[in-house]
Structure 1
Amino acid sequence: MGGESAGEEPDLGAAVRGRVRECIGETGLAQYEFADLIGLDQTKLSKSLRGTRRFTPDELIRIARVAGVTVNWLLSGSDSTSAPTAVPAPEALPRRVAEEPDHGRKRHQIVEAAWRLFAQHGFHAVRIADIAEASGTGSSNVLYYFSRKDELFEESLRYSVKLAFDRQVASLDTVADPLERLRHLVDLQLPTPGVTADEWSIWLQSWSAAAVGAMSQENQARAYRRWYQTIHKAIRAGQDAGAFVSEPVEDLSTQLTSLIDGLGIKVLTGALSVEKMREHIRAFIDRCLVAGPAAARPDTAHT
């Protein structure tokens, strides 16, 4: 995906354009207002909706984020299937509530503001009043949508699942080689400053809360299961292609996800750099997963 193609039918097709139009309509915004919200030039949005320009993966991610849908839904019309990555259980994704467009936008603004504040300052340091101020509303409005702060935190965890899911669906299909796909999958989840580091902060806090009974262990495990299953799926695909060793896929998936989790915590606490984390994970993949000499495989994964 990506780039303009004068008069050429995009691979994404008319169905995707129709779903984007549906998203715009459900927000209750004018097309130019929606373009501003997703940071896209109005002319480019118009060309994409006419079929003379393709939506890029990054644009689809931004559309899904603003509209409160998943990239998987934009591409396929469903959240029940996805080729490159495991699909979250419905309960692991942000709740869809039938409501008027302005209520939906306000709910989304509250969740995004809370997610960012929780990630950057920690659950206990954030007040409902802080979330209200950051989302441009009042505390009573926040409590209208979410009766308790911990309920809003669990919605923030579901929001983190959606963000990671969207990134993976948008770009994993562009990488054909199983080894490069696994490397790219890992790169997509590195806690680089910005969105992914904020996601990691939410995850770290959810693990801590679940460990002491401050949030549902079932909800936390359900959210984490999708990440584990995505790694599992990538390793299984590599084994089927003969690229990875024929060790039990459950063991390899557990070892790799545990390594990623532990190194990610070190990055968040300042004990390790993101680049060193990436190097350690690459070394593990080459040493423990790759069938045959890893040095002979080209390192062309996305950075």
Structure 2
Amino acid sequence: MQQHEEVAQRVREVIGAARCSQREFARRIVMDPSKLSRSLRGTRRFTVAELARIADAGSVDAGWLLGSGADGHPAAAAEHTTPSATPAVPAAPRGAGPEGGRPLQIVRETVRLIARHGFHAVRVSDIADACGTSTAAIHYHFPGRAELLEAAVRWCMDEDTARRSARIAEADSAADELRQLIELQTPTTPRRREQWTVWLDLWAEAARSTAIGRLHVEYYRQWRTTVADVLARGIAQGVFRDVDPEFSALRLTAMIDGLAAQVLASPTGEGPGAPDGGGTSADDMHTALLAYVDTELSA
């Protein structure tokens, strides 16, 4: 038990040296914030893969996290802080790594390959090739395909939440906030199409996997709450009708999902069967959603 407490304390030192919140650090290591919190409290053990990702994100030696080796080296993250403000965390010897660290590179490439080929067609060796590393390095951070899918989904969730927060912060009114959210959910760019393609795989996997199903529930609870909060603000501002915010958020998010699935299922490009062949375009989706807001929600 004492060893687990010591490991948790070293992880706290890494988080302190990173100068970010616990939740932000969880995002960097692609870990459920509640799992990180429980592990720091001692009610849950860190897995070997989680400690590997923590070591990578904090530029420390994984052996030091476990209480062995790599003594006496100053932390890279602590170089520009005072000794009293930041613990001396031993740095791991490393060369120039990928942006954001190896775990994030693995997750980003996994998302890209899932969007292109589908999760069940992506092999660990494909991900290793895309990252320019070995399959052993992939398994070091993510032991199995299930962990990789969960990490990829969580990364997409975090990215989507961050983009929504940034857009809402720029809006002048609740009506503008809702328009910004609708624009963000419309697959008009390759990046948005990629993310929606991953969501389609998520829906199929959530029907079979309890872990992914829980992620699915968590994401949609957050997403519908965001929309409901915007609608409630709009009602208070007088820009939206006096509707039930939660029920209206359920209807609107369901419309977004259904239309996005139609857009992704429609042919793209030129030639026979391309956009003019009766499919639903991203512009069609955007127009339909704004029309729904105008007719059903706007005051």
Q: Bin the TM-score by the shorter chain.
A: 0.5 to 0.7
Cα distance in 2 between the residues matched to 1:124 and 1:207: 14
Alignment of 1:190-201 (within 5 A): 190-201=186-197
Q: Which stretches in structure 1 are left out of the alignment for 5+ residues?
A: 1-22, 27-68, 81-88, 292-303
Q: Return the match for 1:290 from 269, 273, 298.
A: 298
1:201-244 superposed Cα distances (whole Å, 9 cap, x missing partner): 11111111112347531122112222111111111111111111
Q: Return the match for 1:255 from 238, 251, 257.
A: 251
Query: Is the counterpart of residue 181 in structure 1 residue 137 in structure 2?
Result: no
Paired amino acid for 2:293 = I
Q: Which stretches in structure 2 are left out of the alignment for 5+ residues?
A: 1-14, 25-31, 37-49, 60-93, 267-278
Cα distance in 2 between the residues matched to 1:247 and 1:170: 26
Cα distance in 2 between the residues matched to 1:91 and 1:126: 29
Aligned sequence identity (%): 31
Query: Is the counterpart of residue 277 in structure 1 residue 277 in structure 2?
Result: no
Q: 1:177 to 1:254 in 2, by over 3 A?
A: same
Cα distance in 1 between the residues matched to 2:289 and 2:125: 41
Alignment of 1:169-248 (within 5 A): 169-213=165-209, 216-248=212-244
Q: CA contact under 8 A between 2:206 and 2:213: conserved in structure 1?
A: yes
What is aligned with 1:49?
A: none
Q: 1:174 to 1:213 in 2, by over 3 A?
A: closer
What is aligned with 2:54?
A: 98
Cα distance in 1 between the residues matched to 2:287 and 2:33: 34
Q: CA contact under 8 A between 2:259 and 2:285: conserved in structure 1?
A: yes
CA RMSD between the two structures: 2.8
Q: How far 1:153 moved relative to its partner?
A: 0.8
Higher mean C-alpha displacement, 127-136 vs 102-111: 102-111
What is aligned with 1:145?
A: 141
Query: Is the counterpart of residue 268 in structure 1 residue 264 in structure 2?
Result: yes
Paired amino acid for 2:288 = H
Q: How far 1:283 moved relative to its partner?
A: 0.4
TM-score by length of 1: 0.64
1:19-66 superposed Cα distances (whole Å, 9 cap, x missing partner): xxxx9x96xxxxxxxxxxxxxxxxxxxxxxxxxxxxxxxxxxxxxxxx
Q: Return the match for 1:162 from 158, 163, 166.
A: 158
Cα distance in 1 between the residues matched to 2:156 and 2:226: 15
Cα distance in 1 between the residues matched to 2:245 and 2:210: 32
Q: 1:287 to 1:157 in 2, by over 3 A?
A: same
Q: CA contact under 8 A between 1:164 and 1:189: conserved in structure 2?
A: no
Higher mean C-alpha displacement, 249-258 vs 208-217: 208-217
TM-score by length of 2: 0.65
Bigger relative CO (Cα 8 Å, ≥ 6 apart): 1
Q: CA contact under 8 A between 2:224 and 2:246: conserved in structure 1?
A: no
Q: How far 1:170 moved relative to its partner?
A: 2.1
Cα distance in 2 between the residues matched to 1:91 and 1:193: 32
Cα distance in 1 between the residues matched to 2:280 and 2:122: 27
SS at match of 2:54: coil
1:97-140 superposed Cα distances (whole Å, 9 cap, x missing partner): 42143687111111111111111210011100000000111011
Q: CA contact under 8 A between 2:202 and 2:212: conserved in structure 1?
A: no
Counting matched residue pairs gives: 212
Larger Rg: 2
Cα distance in 1 between the residues matched to 2:22 and 2:140: 29
Alignment of 1:32-51 (within 5 A): none
Paired amino acid for 1:160 = C
Cα distance in 2 between the residues matched to 1:202 and 1:180: 27
